[in-house]
Amino acid sequence: MKVDILAFGSHPDDVELGCGGSILSAISKGLKVGIIDLTKGELGTRGTPEIRKKESEKASEILGVSFRKNLGFKDGFFINDKEHQLKVVEVLREHKPSIIFCNAVKDRHIDHPKGSKLVSDSCFLSGLSKINTNYKNSKNQLPWTPKQIYHYIQWFDLKPDILIDISEFQEKKIKAIMAYKSQFYNPKSTEPNTPISSKSFIDSIKQRDQNFGRISGVDAAEGFTVEKPPVVKDIKGIM
């Protein structure tokens, strides 16, 4: 299945937190979106891989994405090498996205910048015709290079290069985030507290979206950094 946007996250819930509103906006405009989780989040303090899988399925249903896959890389220990790159290249060539959403270039969790660089490097390699992936025992995957890579903002307050209006979708974005009941604020939970399990963390996600909205003249927005400036065909594209 070809998609317009392929959103990558190092862990289940990264995508919802970083660009859930932008995904909802894109789908509302008729675009097709898929999600690729690099790991199962098995090192997370709360929950289990099995629980997080069910939660990710619920979140995907709320977002309305066309599909969601998990590459099964090792949480905390995957690296940016040939083996991992080729697996990412496979999904890029399979789904042929025009736009990539992926992790922040700098962040608190070590997997986030690793995942960011892995996906970015793989996007370059995916366009090289002499690279064979042996996808499904075949060497017939054609090269594919996405047009643009957008890195969503996570824990650190990075300066965005572009903002996407999510005013109509912030409430639904939070609903998708809260599908991960094992990870986020739940006063009935008996599991250990983590930096993301407090009510203030969810409030901070809402407030950041609203602050990006404030500086751009809308109610809420998500921020992204880019590797190259996006191009518009004419002046109407920036109005």
Taking the C-alpha atoms of residue 147 and residue 156, their distance in angstroms, rounded to an integer, is 26
User: Which among 79, 70, 97, 68 is positioned nearest to 4, based on CA atoms?
Assistant: 97
Taking the C-alpha atoms of residue 16 and residue 12, their distance in angstroms, rounded to an integer, is 8
- Spatial CB neighbours of 67, under 8 Å, sequence gap ≥ 6: 1, 34, 35
Percent of the chain, pLDDT > 90?
89
Residue 134's pLDDT band (boundaries 50, 70, 90)? confident
Is the distance from CB of 39 to CB of 11 less than 8 angstroms? yes
> Which element (helix H / strand E) includes 15?
helix 14-28
Q: Please state the pTM of the whole predicted model.
A: 0.95
Looking at the 3D structure of the chain, how many domains does it have? 1
Query: Is 137's pLDDT higher than 90?
Result: no
pLDDT of residue 138: 59
Question: Helix, strand, or coil here: 36?
Answer: strand
Q: The domain containing residue 84 runs over which residues?
A: 5-238
pLDDT tens per residue across span 144-176? 999 999 999 999 999 999 999 999 999 999 999
CATH number of domain containing 131: 3.40.50.10320
Which residues of 40-179 form beta strands (DSSP E)? 67-73, 99-102, 148-152, 162-165
Query: Is 4's pLDDT higher than 90?
Result: yes
How much is the average pLDDT of 175-179? 97
pLDDT tens per residue across span 59-91? 999 999 999 999 999 999 999 999 999 999 999
Is the distance from CB of 21 to CB of 222 less than 8 angstroms? yes
